[in-house]
Chain A
Amino acid sequence: MARALSVIALAATAIAIGAASPAPITTRQGVFTEDQAAAGAQLYATRCAMCHGKMREGTYETPSLQDRFIANWSKAPVADLYDYLARAMPQFAPGSLKPAETAQIVAYLLKANGLPAGAKPLPEGGPTLARIMLEPKAPSLSAKAVPRTK
């Protein structure tokens, strides 16, 4: 685990050195606002939940938008996810989301996956969004997941 995290840290450092421009931001640093996420939740309920499930649980055929979804989109700019949603979702009406709506849904998905809100809104595309790297939340761990009762 420590090893896994240190690999991530090393990768982040490498990117920072290579880029020589502003240090990369990650989704752990509060890259969207609560308002965006709340608006995104409403949009999700009407545009996404019918396929991906009320709790983003997915089905055997439709991807869940938790856990493995975050893993699959990690180590890449949030812009990738944003662009994909803008292009391809919802599948029955691709391209129908307005830029502000796309950002709101991305904000909602980040929040629903345990990432923190912040002061600045998530940009609606553009170079700033391309600099934000999607990093999963730190795993919530208990010292003891196994209860020890008599």
Chain B
Amino acid sequence: MAGRSQFGLSALERRALLKGSLGAAAFAGMQSYASAAKIAEVTAPPPMPLPGRKVALVPLRVTPDQLIDVKCCIRPFRAAGPNLGTQMIGDTLVVHNYGHGGSGWSLSWGSADVALGKALSVLPKEIAVVGCGIVGLTTAVLAQQYGLKVTIYARDMIQRTRSFRASGSFTPSSRVALTEPAGPEFGDLWERMARFSWKAFRTCIGLPGNPVEFQDNYGLSDTPPQRRVREPNPAITDSYATRGIPFQETEFAHLDDRIKDIVPQSSLLPPEENPFNAAYASRTSHMYFNFASYGHMLLTEFFGRGGQFVMRDFHGPADYAKLKEKVVINCTGYAARDLWQDKTIIPVRGQTGWLVPQPDSHYAVRYKNVMLMSKADGVCVMNNNSIPEDLGDMFGVGNSMELPNPADIQAGLKLIAPVFAPPVGGA
């Protein structure tokens, strides 16, 4: 076998292949060998820019046949923000850590730090964590890093929790609280949790499998983009105060400006740098999470540090006092609404479609309220359009229907498809 590589190619053949002189058939044959992706990187010609443009990106394939999954989940939204309160159940100290709305992933480390601070006030050596979504598992790992022995009690591992049905990007103030009920002090707490989390996520960048990554995120429009201004609608007289549920977007806490010194902001691109078939493009970079490797990373650390996982269900607060650990962190997310009868949790439905992974198109793009985000496990599709009007943060509020509706995703794909097509007439 002298002169032949591990893939069975001679040095000559490889050189020829890299020069592109073996033709399409030989290349197709190569696909069955191990490093197909690497070779594609070398041989795939860069895409041509659209007419009048200097830059090009590999277009995302958004045809209906690419859809491989539709996931739906309910954000556990609380008007007052996440519950981080403490209480006794019998002889057991329960520290709550649930109700993060659309910000569970993003605030997971900071919120875990706050909850663990409270748990540590009684100097435990071991604790229990109930729930194994992103908040529970992160809390468990951070507790281990703080020197505690930890057992997770949960019905499912993270892969089967609502956390894995999120979109998985850094959106720390997405439906996290309402301004009034959360009160003036919530902003400081939120900022502390967001900054702590951001730093923690940064430590994961570059790890095998890329559990946390950045990518460019394009906002496209047919008219000049305008900063969204939220004004209360005086015609709407009901509010959370009167009805226990928000009635308009202006009731929500929008806190992102507090951390704009670390989070990249968006800027408008000159026309020649807009790679898409849309009149206007702005670009930012965003941090996002690859579910598979992120979950694997946390579970590996948890078990590597001697963590125990016990599969079980809980039927009411009294069950918590039956655990052998006398300090328990309750990370049950939306499930707390029934388990703890916390009716202040307002369901906010969200849905994502998933296209076949397209690693050569490593970017996110938004157009007409449809968002595509190319991740390791697929291209995430969100269609946030609603009829008759754009609801913004109100989209999905009060909706606890957790069955997916693929037609919405297909409609979204149809809406965004034109941005990847050459302009009609080729002009």
Contact surface of A with B, Cβ cutoff 8 Å: 1-5, 8, 53, 55, 57, 59-61, 64, 66-68, 70-71, 74-75, 136-137, 139-150
Contact = CB atoms under 8 A, between A and B. Distances in A.
Given A136-B123, A143-B88, 19 more contacts: A1-B91, A1-B93, A57-B192, A59-B195, A59-B199, A60-B195, A61-B199, A67-B114, A67-B117, A71-B121, A139-B86, A139-B121, A142-B85, A143-B87, A145-B96, A146-B83, A146-B341, A147-B80, A149-B244
A136 B122 contact: yes
Contacts, number: 99
A11 to B, nearest CB: 10
B123 A71 contact: yes
Interface of B: 80, 83, 85-88, 91-94, 96, 113-114, 116-118, 120-124, 146, 188, 192, 195-196, 198-200, 244, 326-327, 336, 340-344
Interface SS of A by simple majority? loop
B120 A148 contact: no
A1 B327 contact: yes
B91 to A, nearest CB: 4
Contacts of A146: 83, 85, 87, 96, 336, 340-342
Nearest to A69: B117
A148 B341 CA distance: 7
B219 to A, nearest CB: 30
Nearest to A114: B121
A57 B244 CA distance: 32
Interface SS of B by simple majority? mixed
Nearest to A3: B326
16 contacts: A1-B91, A1-B326, A3-B91, A4-B93, A4-B124, A4-B327, A60-B196, A67-B114, A67-B118, A70-B120, A136-B122, A139-B93, A142-B87, A147-B343, A148-B341, A150-B343
A136 B91 contact: no
B87 A60 contact: no
B121 A70 contact: yes
B343 A148 contact: yes
Given A4-B123, A70-B121, A150 B244 contact: yes
